[in-house]
Amino acid sequence: METSALAARLAQRFVAGATLDDALQTGRRLNAEGITVTLDHLGEGVTSLAEAAAARDVYLRMLSTIAETGIQGNVSLKLTQLGLDFSYDPCRANMEQLAACAARLHTFVRIDMEDSSYTDRTLRLTRDLHAAYGSVGVVIQACLRRSRQDVEALCQEGIRVRLCKGAYLEPASAAFSSKRDVDRNYLELMKLLLDKGEYPAIATHDERIVNEAKAYVERGKISRNAFEFQMLYGIRRDLQRQLVAEGYRLRLYVPFGQAWYPYYMRRLAERPANVFFILRNLIRQ
């Protein structure tokens, strides 16, 4: 699949390319359209602490290059890519180097959330590094039953949150099982973040949710500059252009790297609904 010309054309819709230069070129083009970016180097499935250290070094180069080139963007990563599956302490050491670098360069690192078995460790590390450097934020998944408590605490601590629905298949004890319940919880958490959060990121392609956030602005509850929408590169370009034209802040999640195939296969395997999501957007475009 990775050497197939057809597969490569399909991947180009959703992955910026194989190299950092590819991602930076995409970032420049999106910046010119009034869109900021968060770059993600694919490859969270590391098999050793040596690979985790190599991933850390890639992210250090990303942070430095973004600052040097003036790209309007930051980076996003998963802690398993930094070795969390092997040991917490080496992962923390890797992440601390990135947080310190981001603070020095006056930029930002978003720690992605993985499945619910990682939630406590991810939040623990986010809190520690936010207190020390102030240059990190985290992702919260609306599908998890615990998320309201987590959002309330993160708002009190001034930690920036990206709110998403969640792409992992979770047990019913940890997560809402119906789309209706996930959507309801997302809206409740979004309003909490818009009321009390520190520059929240509303990550969704759901127009109903987008319109609810816009209604908050129209009612004067929050300004357009106090939060941002976030979407995936290559998904709902029509909606992306509309939001920018209306003066809203928009950031695209831009993945790049050689590991695009396992990345998408994991996303599709984790949640069958993701397959239909991708197909709908291919047809739409």
Point out the least confidently predicted range of 40-44, 139-143, 185-189, 270-274.
270-274
DSSP state of 175: B
Q: From the candidates 162, 236, 249, 271, give the one annotated as an active-site residue.
A: 162
262 pLDDT exceeds 80?
A: no
pLDDT, one tens digit per residue, over 165-187 is: 998 889 999 999 999 999 999 99
Is 271 tagged catalytic? no
CB 40 within 8 A of CB 34: no
DSSP state of 179: H
Split into its structural domains, the chain has a count of: 1
What's the confidence (pLDDT) of residue 1? Answer: 67
Span 205-218, average pLDDT: 96
Give CA separation, 229 vs 9, 92, 113, 225, 243, in Å.
27, 29, 18, 11, 9
What's the confidence (pLDDT) of residue 2? Answer: 65
107 vs 45, residue with greater confidence: 107
Give CA separation, 180 vs 38, 142, 157, in Å.
29, 11, 30
pLDDT, one tens digit per residue, over 39-63 is: 999 987 789 999 999 999 999 999 9
Q: Cβ of 207: how many Cβ atoms within 10 Å?
A: 12
CB 147 within 8 A of CB 103: no
Residue numbers of the domain that contains 120: 5-284
CB 217 within 8 A of CB 194: no
Q: From the candidates 56, 85, 110, 112, give the one annotated as an active-site residue.
A: 112
CB 213 within 8 A of CB 194: yes
Q: Work out the percent of the chain whose per-residue pLDDT is above 90.
A: 79
Does residue 188 come out as left (phi exceeding 0), alpha (psi in the -120 to 50 range) or beta?
Answer: alpha
Is 56 tagged catalytic? no
Looking up residue 164, the CATH number of its domain turns out to be 3.20.20.220
199 pLDDT exceeds 70?
A: yes
CA dihedral 223, 227, 228, 230 (to 10 degrees): -140
**39 beta partners:** 75, 254
Tell me the whole-structure pTM to 2 decimals.
0.91
Listed in sequence order, the residues at least 6 apart from 120 whose beta carbon sits closer than 8 Å to its beta carbon are: none
How far is 147 from 149, CA to CA, in rounded Å?
A: 5
